[in-house]
Amino acid sequence: MQLSAAVMDSFDFKNSIDQDIVDLAQLKGQLRINEPMKKHVSWRVGGAVKYFYIPQDRDDLSRFLSLLPGNIPLYMIGLGSNLLVRDGGFNGVIVGLHARLNDLFISHMDGAEGSIFAGAGVPCAKLARFTCKSNLVGSEFLAGIPGTVGGALAMNAGCYGGETWNIVERVQVIKRSGNIIERKVDDYRIEYRSVARKLGIENGVDEEWFVGAWFRLIRGDGSVSKQKIKQLLTARIATQPLDYPNAGSVFRNPAGDYAARLIEFSNLKGLQIGGAMVSNKHANFIINTGNATAADIEAIITEVHHRVREQTGVNLTREVRIIGDTKALIQ
């Protein structure tokens, strides 16, 4: 889809981007100006981003990045299920990848194993179902992750005993310049809910984002995998407050313990600030009861962190990412 003339005329990079550098005629995606981020994050809160770009496909994303000056703040999201955008919004560019980088296919099959490629915009649950139908086993846990492949790769998402990078064969990344390359698993330092390049930005390496990955899985009985997924989803419905906007687990589990147990031990279930509340169903979930602001949610995250440390001595690490400004900078 070409950008409409109206959108192109309203695209003003004044004080941010030189229009002579950005040739909009070369782009095929959808550009939105001052886009409310509450439409794109699972908490349903947050201010506006100055520019929200939805690429048509991977090539269009590559072209967009090649035209975008390197000094413009840039963030990429999938389903926005692990993200809080502050009420003042984000004074830069956010790229939405969900349902865009959605390639999903069997890359290779041999006697005992198979490899599946999934784009960064593919929902984790969709990947789990696809591998099941392909009689490849070991990715069932992905059905319980409320995000996309790109986000799962970025944070080594996991649940119910499984972790994303345990099944990654290799990845495809896009650099700030728009160049797309492949990387090996050995190029990264993989830890619990943490992924970092061994040669990172601190060593002068520019920014890059995951745009896809090959997953290596064992051939097996898809019907058994289907049953595992059904059991996992039943457990998820029973234990998580899915009837309220939330971002999944807010804090990482500390070694040998569970964040939810520590929060509950500190008598914080039901704690409420404004429209944000610690769930009575799962203590490591903070829910939007209907009228929460991003400030409410950030305040309750801070309060939970403080009181757990005060009660237990454990310094919880936040899993949710927070971006943006507390006061609006976008006019």
Residue 319 annotated in active site: yes
CA–CA dist 178, 171 (Å, integer) = 16
Would you state the structure tokens that stand for residue 136, as one six-digit string? 């490849």
pLDDT at position 317 is: 97
pLDDT at position 199 is: 79
pLDDT at position 44 is: 98
CA–CA dist 37, 15 (Å, integer) = 22
Is the model more confident about 274 or about 203? Answer: 274
pLDDT at position 99 is: 85
Strands 48-54 and 90-96: parallel
pLDDT at position 69 is: 85
Is the model more confident about 286 or about 10? Answer: 286
Residue 25 pLDDT greater than 80, yes or no: no
How many H helices and E strands in the chain? 7, 19
pTM: 0.88
Overall average pLDDT of the 161-189 stretch: 96
pLDDT at position 319 is: 94
Residue 301 pLDDT greater than 70, yes or no: yes
Q: What is the per-residue pLDDT across 117-164, written as a single tens digit (0 to 9) for each?
A: 999 999 999 999 999 999 999 999 999 999 999 999 999 999 988 999
pLDDT at position 15 is: 41
Spatial contact of 48 and 34, defined as CB atoms under 8 Å apart: yes
Residue 221 pLDDT greater than 60, yes or no: yes
Q: Which residue has the tokens 């190029």?
A: 187
The ranges of the chain annotated as CATH 3.30.465.10 are: 104-239
Give the mean pLDDT of the chain.
90
pLDDT band at 202 (very low <50, low <70, confident <90, very high): low
- Residue 289 carries which DSSP code? -
Residue 249 annotated in active site: yes
Spatial contact of 43 and 297, defined as CB atoms under 8 Å apart: yes
Overall average pLDDT of the 286-314 stretch: 98
Residue 222 pLDDT greater than 90, yes or no: yes
How many C-beta atoms surround the C-beta of residue 255 within 10 A?
7
pLDDT band at 204 (very low <50, low <70, confident <90, very high): low
% residues pLDDT > 70 (the chain): 89
Overall average pLDDT of the 53-78 stretch: 94
Catalytic residue among 193, 197, 309, 318: 193
| Residue 267, phi then psi, degrees to nearest 5 | 60, 45
pLDDT band at 23 (very low <50, low <70, confident <90, very high): low
pLDDT at position 160 is: 87
For domain 104-239, give the fold: 3.30.465
Would you state the structure tokens that stand for residue 285, as one six-digit string? 């979930």
pLDDT band at 206 (very low <50, low <70, confident <90, very high): low
pLDDT at position 8 is: 32
CATH 3.30.43.10 fits 5-96, yes or no: yes
Spatial contact of 79 and 44, defined as CB atoms under 8 Å apart: no
pLDDT at position 2 is: 30
Min mean pLDDT across 7-16, 65-74, 144-153, 168-177 is at 7-16
CA–CA dist 5, 8 (Å, integer) = 5
| Distance (Å) of CA 74 to CA 52, 136, 168, 175, 331 | 10, 36, 26, 12, 19
| Residue 25, phi then psi, degrees to nearest 5 | -65, -20
State which CATH number among 4.10.640.10, 3.40.50.2000, 3.90.78.10, 2.102.10.10 fits the domain covering 259-323: 3.90.78.10
CA–CA dist 78, 41 (Å, integer) = 9
Residue 310 annotated in active site: no
Overall average pLDDT of the 239-247 stretch: 96
Pick from 170, 155, 168, 161: nearest CA to 143: 161
Catalytic residue among 62, 225, 249, 266: 249
CA–CA dist 226, 43 (Å, integer) = 29
CA–CA dist 31, 51 (Å, integer) = 7
Catalytic residue among 35, 140, 208, 319: 319
CA–CA dist 62, 76 (Å, integer) = 13
pLDDT at position 10 is: 34
The ranges of the chain annotated as CATH 3.90.78.10 are: 259-323
